[in-house]
Structure 1
Amino acid sequence: MLWIGIVLLLAGGGCFWAAVHTQRRVHAMMAAETPPVPELLERARISTELNGGPGRFRLVCEVVGETAPAPVGILRSELAGVECVWHAHRVERRYERRERDDEGRMRTSTHTETVSERTSPHGWPLVRDGHHVGVDPGGQRPEPVEQVLDRFDPADGQGSTGAGGQRGDRTVGYRHQEWVLRPGVRMYVLGEVDDRDGPLVIRRPQDPKQPFVLSTRSEAELTAADRTSQRWWARGGAGLVLLGLGLAVAGAVS
């Protein structure tokens, strides 16, 4: 009982950490300014004049606009072939493994492993009122994002070890999933705008304490959802801590 109590206390601490992290994100969204793109361009121009060249302008802020293709052009997702400005896919292998347990009986267990996972390397612009700011996702996935493929292909029944499998594993099949961000989707981004590449780009802030938000939901929707999550995390943490304390004390005195 003592160890169960300690585990619950740790889980409660994790819930409190999640509540604090979510609350910080809400405060960051409420505190960040949302300057029009022409104002950002003017601030960057003034910074260039004052510093004798570009590369010194930085501003943590929000940018809202519609997604558009990058200079490389419209992309096509690799599995479904959907036109988009960003895409990601994952292929998972599901397999069965027969093993002998401690009592000598054969057991069959089902496992999953990722055999392929890829995200498009390019960012995309956000366009508003005829002006644009580039978005560098830095490997982060926009949320929520449209899923265009979720297909399970059964194996041919021959049974194989597959990628990384052990001898005797039987491949059940492969699950293919793909997500895309289409052009013309309204997005909210909270990050740091800079001119280090010349044109203005918003990306993950250099300060690790500052959140980086890429979302197809509005700021109001994000704030409402985060406040609800923060309350649940806090309540769950309090409940786990109280239960953990009770079990820990009971285990210590028994």
Structure 2
Amino acid sequence: MLIAGVVLLVVAVIAVFVARSERGKARKATATETLSCGDVATLSSGVAAEVGAGSFSQRCEAVGTAAPGPDGLVDAPESQVDAVWVRTKVIHKYWVMEETRQDGKTTRTRREREETVSENESTTAFQLTDATGSVVIRPDGADVDRPEKVVDRFEARSAMNQAGEGFLSSLLRVGNDTGTLGFQHQEWVIRPGEELYVQGEVSDRTGPLVFAKPEDKGDYLISTRSEDEIVAGAERNGKIAVAVAGVAGVVGIVLLIAGAVTA
């Protein structure tokens, strides 16, 4: 009971931190100033006229549609769809034999395991456009929220070319106690024309106006959800975390007291 009580108290503490984090997300979204692409350009021009180009920096949020940047579309290797941003992930799924001993008896059990062997995100700049203009989006360092999943495919070992050479083939586990089940291929994208909500820092330090991760390491969010959806989701998650913290805390204390009494 003592161990269970301690575990529940740890869960309660973690839930409190989660609740604070989610409430913080909601506050930031509602407190951050919303600017159009035209507003950003006007502010930047005003600062440039006063103190010179390269001096403008503003934390804000903007809403618009995704469009290709100067370098065009990015490669979506799994789906081959048109995209301005892409994330790919490959998960190696395999099995291992685990041994346990009890009462002098050895039991061997097959367990499934997995590990990520490849995960990449594109860093090619794209644009956010609205009726008033456009701003460049540099996605590196951003928390990309709810991108569209376009591939979630499991490639079983039996379907793979075992004689083939290459990266995935080299990862096949051999031996009596391990074996590859296969590889899970996943891919997420942001397509041209996707409605986006962006929260971060826009500046002209590098020349054109660019949304990027704030220099003070603050939050940088690119989301396919609206601000209202983000706020509602964060508030809901915060309430759930508070409820979990309360229940886990009370039960944990009860178990600690009961364990101390019976010890």
Question: What is the 5 A alignment of 1:15-26?
Answer: 15-26=15-26
Look up the match of 1:53.
53
Q: What is the CA deviation profile of residues 125-164 of structure 1, one whole-angstrom value per residue up to 9, with x for unaligned ones? A: 1001151112222243522111111111111387x99528
TM-score after normalising by structure 2: 0.87
Query: Once superposed, what is the RMSD of the aligned Cα atoms?
Result: 2.3
2:181 to 172, 176, 180: 172
Output the amino acid matched with 2:130.
Answer: R
Q: In 2, are the aligned partners of 1:28 and 1:211 still within 8 Å (CA)? A: no
Counterpart check, 1:27 vs 2:27 = yes
Distance 1:206 1:253, change over 3 A: farther
Q: In 2, are the aligned partners of 1:162 and 1:171 still within 8 Å (CA)? A: no
Distance 1:132 1:248, change over 3 A: same
Structure 2: distance between partners of 1:249 and 1:205: 48
Distance 1:140 1:191, change over 3 A: closer
Counterpart check, 1:231 vs 2:239 = yes
* SS at 1:190 equivalent: strand
Unaligned runs of 5+ in 2: 163-167
Look up the match of 2:140.
138
Q: In 1, are the aligned partners of 2:59 and 2:202 still within 8 Å (CA)? A: yes
* SS at 1:94 equivalent: strand
TM-score after normalising by structure 1: 0.90
Counterpart check, 1:11 vs 2:20 = no
Output the amino acid matched with 2:24.
Answer: R
Look up the match of 1:112.
114
Unaligned runs of 5+ in 1: none
Alpha-carbon deviation of 1:13?
1.1
Output the amino acid matched with 1:219.
Answer: E
Structure 2: distance between partners of 1:33 and 1:19: 24
Output the amino acid matched with 1:150.
Answer: D
Alpha-carbon deviation of 1:211?
3.1
Q: In 2, are the aligned partners of 1:90 and 1:178 still within 8 Å (CA)? A: yes
* SS at 2:158 equivalent: coil
Q: In 2, are the aligned partners of 1:96 and 1:108 still within 8 Å (CA)? A: yes
Structure 2: distance between partners of 1:17 and 1:4: 20
Question: What is the 5 A alignment of 1:192-203?
Answer: 192-203=201-212
Alpha-carbon deviation of 1:197?
1.5
Counterpart check, 1:206 vs 2:215 = yes
Alpha-carbon deviation of 1:119?
1.3
Structure 2: distance between partners of 1:190 and 1:183: 19
Look up the match of 1:122.
124
May I ask how many residue pairs the two structures share in their alignment?
252
2:198 to 185, 189, 210: 189
State the percentage of identical aligned residues: 31
